[in-house]
Amino acid sequence: MLVPLLAVLAPLIARALARWVALPGIVFELLLGIAIGPAVLNLVQPSEFLEMLSQFGVAMLFFMAGTELNASAMRGRSGAGAWGGWLLSFGVGTALGWIVAPGLGAVIIGIALSSTALGTLVPVLRDAGEFTTPFGRTVSAVGAVGEFGPIIAISVVLSERSTIQAILVLVGFAVVAVIAVWQAGRTSYGRLHRFVESTMHTSGQFAIRLVMLIVSALVALSLALNVDILLGAFTAGIVWKLLISDASIETQEQVESKVEGLAFGFLIPIFFITTGIDFDLEALLAQPWTFAAVPAVAVLLLLVRGIPSTLAVPAGTARRERLAVGVMGATGLPIIIVATSEGVAAGYISSTTAAILVGGGMLSVLLFPAIATAVRARGAADEAPAA
């Protein structure tokens, strides 16, 4: 009862505070989860049922990220710069992680520090009317690579196979995924779209059932190959977007609304609230230095992820817009949560390290989108008189 109650309270709190500061709802979902969990009020304990729903939630989160992938943004200078920036971030982050946790723990930290929260940034860009602008396309490219790159790294690093075997299996998954994406995008699916439309307002709800089938099939393939389920869920989002891409705008919007209702109205909030319940606040507060390390991680995200993200910026871009892209690119949380959770479970990093990284990610979501929006708005105001 408490978990759905918090899922209702989170957007209400976000709306109440919006007149002073605009914050993503996931911040409040995490904070409320921490409040009712063992670390504070101890009203809810981690349970197998909650963890199962949480896994569905994280799968839907990355499915939605896959549907937001902008293929045009991934081509040319922006795409090459986004991949180059991510590889640089991953290398620097892993090198810094070696100081704290040598071995595979360093790679987990590198994955966390090189991630970007595309799912968090997309609503911000849409609300600001930036999603289709050059700035929005650049941030989309940075965000897509900042989620896809870490997912691939997680699949290799956390595999029980050797690195070579893991890469070969990943290539096998990629071949299947590419075939699925090619098949989905190669032709028109008029009959499918007509059937989707005919069941849109009936108990059939074919579109939602088909979405869940695609997610389940690619997640099941991921599990069978021992590849991280996030990769399957992300690919499912790409496949579904291609299947529905040539339907009427009205049909696309109606289906998108229903899928978002299932994802953001039910499953994804449970993932973030459960993450808050599982959050090891005690480890974070155990020593004065651990709590002080949280803002240090936020600064590291700016340096390790933010600066390389600017490599995706088109030539001739104004300095303030370049800075805004970097700050947006440094916003990371979902991948940090997933990578550190799996890293702790595998024994590669300590729960204290995980808590510090997640705390830094929460701070980045809390501050960076608002800072980037303000920087971009200031840049536009400065350019207005010259125009």
What is the per-residue pLDDT for 382? 60
Numbers of helices and strands, H then E, in the chain: 19, 0
pLDDT(387) > 60: no
Give the mean pLDDT of the chain.
85
CA 338 to chain centre: 10
205: left (phi > 0), else alpha (psi -120 to 50), else beta?
left
How many residues appear in the chain? 387
What is the per-residue pLDDT for 70? 64
What is the per-residue pLDDT for 381? 59
What is the per-residue pLDDT for 89? 96
Find the mean pLDDT for residues 259-274.
91
Beta-strand ranges (E) seen in the chain are none
State what percent of residues in the chain have pLDDT above 70: 92
**18 vs 277: CA distance, rounded Å:** 25
For the record, the structure tokens of 63 come out as 């499915």
Find the mean pLDDT for residues 225-246.
84
The CA-atom distances, in angstroms, between 168 and each of 3, 21, 162, 182 are 41, 47, 10, 21
What is the per-residue pLDDT for 108? 94
- Split at pLDDT 50, 70, 90, the class of 102 is confident
Tens of pLDDT, residues 104-134: 899 999 999 999 988 778 767 776 777 778 8
pLDDT(239) > 80: yes
**Where do we find the tokens 């609230």?**
273
pTM, two decimal places:
0.81
**Count of CB atoms within 10 A of residue 149's CB?**
22
Find the mean pLDDT for residues 220-236.
83
pLDDT(380) > 70: no
Find the mean pLDDT for residues 246-252.
88
Lowest mean pLDDT among 8-12, 128-132, 197-201, 302-306: 128-132
pLDDT(182) > 70: yes
The CA-atom distances, in angstroms, between 282 and each of 35, 197, 279 are 12, 51, 9
Higher pLDDT, 125 or 48: 48
The CA-atom distances, in angstroms, between 148 and each of 34, 209, 352, 378 are 28, 25, 26, 31
pLDDT(386) > 70: no
What's 287's DSSP letter?
Answer: S
pLDDT(191) > 80: yes
What is the per-residue pLDDT for 205? 92
**110 vs 130: CA distance, rounded Å:** 29
Half-sphere exposure (Cβ direction) of 343: Cα atoms closer than 13 Å: 32
| Domains along the chain with CATH numbers | 2-382 (1.20.1530.20)
